[in-house]
Amino acid sequence: MNKYRKYFGYVVMAGFLTGCAAPTITPTYTSTDPELMRIGGEKPDDSKPEIVSMGSYCLQIDDKWKENGKTPDGQSIWTKDSFRSVIPCR
């Protein structure tokens, strides 16, 4: 019986040390480009469609912001979707 108590004590001590030694991971919500992701606040304004000449054709780029979840503290995560389509040049 004494052997089991000793074993249980080692298990409890190992669990305690593991729990205290493990660093708490704090989430960071950052992006190297704030034009792709934003945290909190109101929905950013959607830009007007942009037309880019690619030589023999044109490319229409349309960027839209959408809410893509929430942080643990309740802030909205805003991400940008880019839609591209080929159109004839004017």
Tokens 């044109």 found at: 58
* Enclosing domain of residue 59: 2-87
The count of structural domains within the chain is 1
pLDDT confidence band for 73 (50 / 70 / 90) = confident
Q: Name 59's Cβ contacts closer than 8 Å, sequence gap at least 6.
A: 51, 52, 84, 85, 86, 87
Q: Which of 34, 44, 42 is nearest to 65 (CA)?
A: 44
pLDDT, residue 34, reads 74
pLDDT tens track for 52-67: 999 889 999 999 999 9
- Cα–Cα nearest to 64, from 83, 77, 50: 83
